[in-house]
Chain A
Amino acid sequence: MSEVAVHLVDVQKSFGEGEIRTQVLFDITQDICTGELTLLVGPSGCGKTTLISIIGGILEADCGEINVFGSKVNLMSDDLKTEFRKNNIGYIFQQHNLIPTLTVLENVSIPLIIQGYSTEEAERLSLEMLETVEIISHAYYYPRDLSGGQQQRVAIARSLITKPRLVICDEPTASLDGKSGRRIVGMLKDIALQQDKCVIVVTHDTRIFKFGDRMIKIEDGRIITDKPIIRRDI
């Protein structure tokens, strides 16, 4: 049975001050449930990335309540937020953001090392995860030696290695061909939704809509629609 993972009430966000102040989110009130892969769609500049940054606790909202798995993120101190992110949230970025001077294995191990695992234990668990995302043969390669799809699989491994309850993805398939993109999202869905978790994906990529359970459309900083995806509609 799904439960509310993310509960947003009247969230607002603006950038800049005075005459150049631009409000990008207006009174966002929304629930996002566990067990679902939620797609966040909308035109460029509509506030999607800002919204997931706020949900993920890496950007402050101007006002409103942000409740993630029962914890009020908006009331947390910076250190508490960092701790919360460490234990509950995994990120997958459009640019992968792998550290180029570290091997694939070392990149994937980082979240575990941050959590306090020894390097040896972190690397052992990372090898298991790399096997799951089918890239163990490249464990000792550097990111520059991998294709875009392979790098994204490493990024997925890194985001899931700590078994986060909430996975936030920003355009995970933007730089991939159709086949790689579908494979990545399929993999993400299989892994992330195993244990009653929540996945939020910001995307423009219509090819992956069929993997979503729910689609939230945003325009001009406001949620326009929120409806479950019925497979036959796509």
Chain B
Amino acid sequence: MYKIALKMLFRDKMKFITLVAALAFSTMLITQQGSIFVGLLRLFSTPVRVTQVPVWVMDPATKLIDVPSPMPDMYITEVRSIDDVEWAEPFLVSRQRVRLKSGDMKYVQLQGVDAGSLVGLPQKVVAGNLFDINLPDAVVIDNNELDLLGNPKIGDTFEINDRRARVVAIVKMPRNAFSYPMIYTTYDRAKEYSPPERNLLSFILVQPNKGITDQELCDRIKKKTGLLALTHKQFYWKTISWYMENTGIPVNFGISVMLGIIVGAAIASQTFYTFTLENLRHLATLKAIGAKNSTLTKMLFVQSGVVGMLGYGIGLGITTVFGSTIPKFTVLAFYTPYQLLILAFLVVVGLCIFSSLFSIRRVVKVEPAIVFRG
């Protein structure tokens, strides 16, 4: 009977197309908006992701990497003295103003790394030499916002807070959420570039010895220093959580996703129910000639299941095309984790079950005697 059910579905072309389109639209909206949402959150965490260190130590008041609460430098020594710390290096993060040769002023994110180990400095070099960072006035810039800095080349100079800076390398790194360039230099020079403050140390980047877990070391650092120590993963999620809790981003995207689910559910269930109603007399005929309720129920599930899978596939296809083409032409953040695909799949399955239930209820209740009515 499944073949019969599918023939009944496929040959009612308009309804079939409407059903598939509704579910495809729903899937597309969920996965596309979801991917942009996840992509955007990943952008916020870019500085954390590119700084691949196991443990981050910071002032307990620090909420996220872009706005750290500075600590005294003495904590570097204190953390280094803790058992099972293989190394601990300073990391400075601050927002500064840059004067370009043209006279334009731009905000940049300045990051200071340890001059010897270069821990925290992105390693994919596009141009120049990373080790030249130790030369006088040397800075390394990221390749994403070069135009904001007037497309500097190796050797070009600009000023950071009235102090000369010379580009010695350009590194490749993922985009961040804000449209300002990332500039790396040594920790000591970063302090010179920054306005004078008593404390300027933003983070201490720590590598544990073998034989101790990141979490165990975090607990130990916290106990010994009173500072906040987080694993890389914890800091990554802390950053994302902050934006989730303190911005309207989740609500805005959540509304789009919910809209997709509601519109998809409304169109799919209404169309499927209408499809069933229009076939009610035929389903009653099948009942009269011996088809059991369970058989008719399975037929409806097969119909909605096929429509659901097709809609899911097409919706995902549209999202894939969107995600693989649009970001080439614009700075759209787009990332589709597998969990999003599972979520969309579950939503579509839910929509199919929801749509079918109304129809099944109607079919189970229908008296086959209606076939004798004119």
Contact = CB atoms under 8 A, between A and B. Distances in A.
A97 B291 contact: no
Contact of A82 (B7, B292, B371, B373): B292
B290 A97 contact: no
Contacts of A158: 289
21 contacts: A53-B372, A56-B288, A58-B287, A58-B288, A58-B367, A58-B369, A78-B293, A82-B290, A85-B289, A85-B290, A97-B281, A97-B371, A101-B7, A102-B4, A110-B4, A110-B286, A113-B4, A114-B1, A114-B295, A119-B3, A170-B372
Contacts of B8: 99, 101-102
B373 to A, nearest CB: 8
Given A79-B292, A85-B290, A59 B371 contact: no
A49 B292 contact: no
Interface string A162-188: 000000001000000000000000000
Contacts of B368: 58
Interface of A: 49, 52-53, 56, 58-59, 78-79, 82-83, 85-87, 90-91, 93-95, 97, 99-102, 106, 110-111, 113-115, 119, 158-159, 170
A87 B369 CA distance: 18
Interface size bucket, B side?
Answer: 20 to 34
Contacts of B372: 49, 52-53, 58, 93-94, 170
Nearest to B285: A97
B369 to A, nearest CB: 4
Contacts of A114: 1, 286, 289-291, 295
Contacts of B369: 53, 58-59
Nearest to B282: A99
B278 to A, nearest CB: 10
Contacts of A91: 285, 288-289, 371
B7 A102 contact: yes
Q: Please provide the 8 A-B residue pairs with the shortest distance between their CB atoms, ordered closest to farther.
A: A86-B290, A101-B11, A58-B368, A59-B369, A53-B369, A97-B285, A99-B282, A58-B369
B196 interface: no
Nearest to A86: B290
Nearest to B278: A100
A56 B371 CA distance: 12
A160 to B, nearest CB: 12
A95 B374 contact: yes
Q: For B279, B287, B292, B372, which residue has the most chain A Cβ atoms within 10 angstroms?
A: B372
B12 interface: yes
A86 B11 CA distance: 26
B1 A99 contact: no
Contact of B282 (A49, A56, A58, A97): A97
B286 to A, nearest CB: 7
Q: For A56, A59, A111, A114, which residue has the most chain B Cβ atoms within 10 angstroms?
A: A114
Contact of A110 (B11, B289, B367, B371): B289
Given A101-B8, A101-B11, A82 B291 contact: yes
A33 B34 CA distance: 69
Nearest to A100: B282
A58 B284 CA distance: 10
